[in-house]
Amino acid sequence: MNNKTSRRRFLQLSGSVLSAASLGMWPLNLIAGNSGKPTTYRVVIVGGGFGGATCAKYIKLFDPSIDVTLVERDVRFVTCPFSNLVIGGLRDINSITHDYSVLKKKYGINVVQGDVVDIDAVKNTLLLKNGKSLPYDKAVVSPGIDFLWNSVEGYTEKDVDILPHAWKAGKQTIVLKSQIEAMPDGGVVVIVAPPNPFRCPPGPYERASLIAGYLKQYKPKSKVVILDAKQKFSKMPLFTQAWDTLYPGMIEWVAGTSGGRVTEIDVAKKTVFNELGDPIAGAVVNYIPHQAAGAIARKADLTDASGWCPVNQKTFESTKHKNIHVIGDSAVATPLPKSGYAANSEGKMCAAAIVSELNAAVMPDPSYSNTCYSLIGKNYGISVAAVYRYDGNKIIKVKGSGGISPIKADDSFRRAEALYTSSWYANITRDTFS
């Protein structure tokens, strides 16, 4: 790779504010023409979600001369963040749907709609379902999660329209919302929460809250039961306190050892069975399956026995295959959580690592952060946050930083965090998609 010309140096010479798009369109090969025939580096990114879209954008911001291709299965991206607000009737699905037009036009990213079916780590090539292949110098894989369908008996992938997971946003979000709207007053909504690790640790509990918010208003005799594989959960004291305040008696949480662990499902009867054999029936059952890295990560041999992808936590390069980087939910980036904010943060650091390497420069020390809000009611928000660094070997949380919202706080504090929740959404999606 050393014989390739770095255009980055040229860009730094020509001024601080440059239009990436105009440079991207310009015949740069001519500009850098004094060192023979330069080749443009190609970075191909799998998945246009929080990790992938952010990484594509920041590579272009760092070095517009790199040819960046973003391969995404769907034309539009519906965010999981705020999909619980759609289910609870506080938001319209269109308001959480984003497209790639700005990434294309403003940053000169090639956005390709397609399904990546395999990666050839020897030939450095990505294979698409339509038979096309895309060569790369660097590949970034950010496919999110996939489900382990066989983790309970009696339930398969075909049952998702009867017992929706809604853990990938879009059609599933609407299926779950419609079922809740159609159920009779007095019905029970059963949420089956997965074991660790899974995407968005506070997600099932935010969902329970916002469903209860809807039920309180329209079907006040109804209830939400959370059957949990775990003994505790994210922001637990804050959630339970808020449930007592806003939805007394409406949300029941069952711990793993108290009968929360679901092992079998009777799809036709919308009934789940815990490991003790007790049947729990719901008017609506939101079964959230056990999770692992996105299927393409497994296909491309980027996962280990855990089902997730081990990476160098500074560069996010796979420890299994060179020149393939894995970010977002699929990567093992603990203690960073599997969140959209963390995926965005990882996308930026991975972009810096790739651009530094392609320009034969040393990457400065990375820094990562996370901020996850959960909305419990329209005017009631809570958060968890932290700052992380790389200690030379792995990611660590900076001592003293972060934590959850204070348990002792007044209404105005919770209201302020609810306001910040919607501003958070507007800002993170802007940083990722435009």
Partner 1 sequence: MQFVKLALWRCLVVMLVGLFQSVSAETIDQRTMLSITCSGCHSDENVGAIPSIAGKPAQYIEKALIDFRDDKRSSTVMGRHAKGYSDAEIKLIAEYFSAK
Distance CA 168, CA 34 (A): 49
115 lines the binding site for ligand FAD (CB under 6 A): yes
205 lines the binding site for partner 1 (CB under 8 A): no
Beta carbon nearer to ligand FAD, 257 or 401: 401
The sign of the torsion formed by the CA atoms of 282, 286, 292, 297 equals: positive
Distance CA 313, CA 395 (A): 6
- Helices 340-358 & 411-433, crossing angle to 10 degrees? 40
CB 397 within 8 A of CB 360: no
298 lines the binding site for ligand FAD (CB under 6 A): no
Distance CA 97, CA 148 (A): 26
Rounded least distance, CB 275 to partner 1, Å: 38
Binding region for partner 1 (CB under 8 A) out of 223-231, 240-248, 304-312, 361-369:
361-369
406 Rama class: left (phi>0) / alpha (psi -120 to 50) / beta: beta
Of 45, 134, 189, 200, the one binding ligand FAD by CB under 6 A: 200
Q: By CB under 8 A, what part of segment 334-353 binds partner 1?
A: 341, 344-345, 348-349, 352
Rounded least distance, CB 33 to ligand FAD, Å: 36
- At residue 378, what is the residue type? K
Residues 6+ apart with CB under 8 A from 233: 193, 201, 202, 204, 205, 239
Rounded least distance, CB 277 to partner 1, Å: 44
Of 134, 343, 350, 352, the one binding ligand FAD by CB under 6 A: 343
Beta carbon nearer to ligand FAD, 28 or 193: 193
- From ligand FAD, partner 1, none, which one binds at residue 260 (CB under 5 to 8 Å depending on kind)? none
CB 224 within 8 A of CB 209: no
71 lines the binding site for ligand FAD (CB under 6 A): yes
Contact residues for partner 1 (CB under 8 A)?
A: 10-23, 26, 30-31, 33-34, 58, 60-62, 64, 105-107, 341, 344-345, 348-349, 352, 355-356, 361, 363-369, 371, 383, 385-388, 398, 400-403, 405, 413, 416-417, 419-420, 422-424, 426-428, 430-431
